[in-house]
Amino acid sequence: MTDDATKDATTPEQGSGPTPGGAGSRAPGRPASDRHLPVLLQRCVDLLAPALATPGSVLVDCTLGMGGHTEAVLEQVPTARVLGIDRDPQALALAGARLARFGERFTPVHAVYDEIGEVVAEHSPGGVQGVLMDLGVSSLQLDEADRGFAYAHDAPLDMRMDQSGGMTAADVLNTYAERDLARILREYGEERFAPRVARAIVRRREERPWERTAELAELVRDAIPAAARRTGGNPSKRTFQALRIEVNGELEVLERAVPAAIEALATDGRVVVEAYHSLEDRIVKRALARGTTSSAPPGLPVEPETHRPYLEALTRGAEEADEAELERNPRSASVRLRAARRLRPTPSHLLPHPTTKEARR
């Protein structure tokens, strides 16, 4: 991927800076504030703050992680309260400890963020004034070596953001057909040599099942021609990224989550999304463009009210990190930030399909 392919997959993606002790250390005693440096923190707060100025305003932090963005909002916008969503129970526990001093202004919610509609219906049925999404894998998940996200540390091939259930990376490697492995490596990792890598994965599992990250990293390195390994960093990063996206259904979740987030917004509410690779950013761009562009057929002398934009873009395209941000937090190199404000309700003919659990089944 043009953005993420240049990122070292052993380092945090979701608004992350360097993690003390290294990506593979286990340090459950360290507070969340020491393990996470949010990307474009002040810019996110500045974009959201005008919508949160009324007492009782609600922000949904869809990707709570270590709670860095939420902490900044609660500190700088005393009128706001936050619903913090995360699928990782460990992240909720760490962020909860970090944010305990804010009392009832912070509510943790264990959910996947495409369930935002259900979360808002339960906790803020009148809608919310802000939504933040900071996409990708979090510092916490990379900081724990045994989660299997980082190829630089030998660990079980897990890669689940929520380890309470679901398919692991080992399950994917051991059960997917060769053509399906090649497809996810090509689509989610933009791996040029996807068929070669998939073929090698299948040959290897005929001898013994996949279990460890170090074995996979070695096989990928051997499967890619030496000339192609000379540039672009560790060749395993594309395969590890593709497996992580597949295991967690990240792009499918995002496809549902962005329209659902827009529908959760009250009029004048704002949505801010930070993406870290091209596939994520493409989904976000498409969803926001749908709202900021007239849906009227070209050539009409008068634009019907029902076809006027229901969103206003707050950024010109995707914003990137400036030099000061890059110096402070090198992991911001691939970030693409987009934001929009809700102007009015979405016209009925443009409403997204239902995204409740029942509708997804």
Q: What tens digit of pLDDT does each residue of 301-331 get? A: 766 677 789 999 999 999 999 999 999 988 8
On the question of pLDDT at 30 being above 60, the answer is no
The domain ranges of the chain are: 4-139+251-360, 155-248
Residue 274 has pLDDT above 90, yes or no: yes
Q: Please give the CATH superfamily to which domain 155-248 belongs.
A: Putative methyltransferase TM0872, insert domain (1.10.150.170)
Please indicate if the annotation marks 136 as binding a ligand. Answer: no
Across 262-283, average pLDDT: 96
What is the full DSSP assignment across 147-212?
A: GS--TTS--BS---SSTTSS--HHHHHHHS-HHHHHHHHHHHH--TTHHHHHHHHHHHHHHS---B
* pLDDT confidence bin for 296, thresholds 50/70/90: low
What tokens appear for 196 in the block? Answer: 């070669």
Res 226 pLDDT > 60: yes
Would you say 69 is a known binding-site residue?
yes
Q: pLDDT at position 145, please?
A: 66
Please give the mean pLDDT across all residues of the chain. 86
Angle (CA) 83 84 87, round 5°: 135
pLDDT in tens, 63-117: 999 999 999 999 999 999 999 999 989 899 999 999 999 999 999 999 999 999 9
**pLDDT band at residue 14 under the 50/70/90 scheme:** very low
Question: The whole model's pTM is what?
Answer: 0.84
Spell out the long-range contacts of 116-124 with Cβ–Cβ below 8 A and sequence spacing 24 or more. 116/60, 116/62, 116/85, 116/257, 116/260, 116/261, 116/264, 117/260, 117/263, 117/264, 117/355, 117/356, 118/356, 118/357, 119/60, 119/83, 119/85, 120/60, 120/83, 120/264, 123/58, 123/83, 124/58, 124/83
Better-predicted residue by pLDDT, 32 or 267: 267
Q: What is the pLDDT of residue 352?
A: 78
pLDDT at 25 over 70: no
322 labeled part of a ligand binding site: no
Tens digits of residue pLDDT in 331-340: 889 999 999 9
Span 124-128, average pLDDT: 95
**Residue 277 assigned to a binding site:** no
Is 67 annotated as belonging to a binding site?
yes
What pLDDT, on the 0 to 100 scale, is given for residue 37?
81
**In the prediction, which pLDDT does 9 show?**
36
In words, the CATH class of domain 4-139+251-360 is alpha beta
pLDDT recorded at residue 155: 92
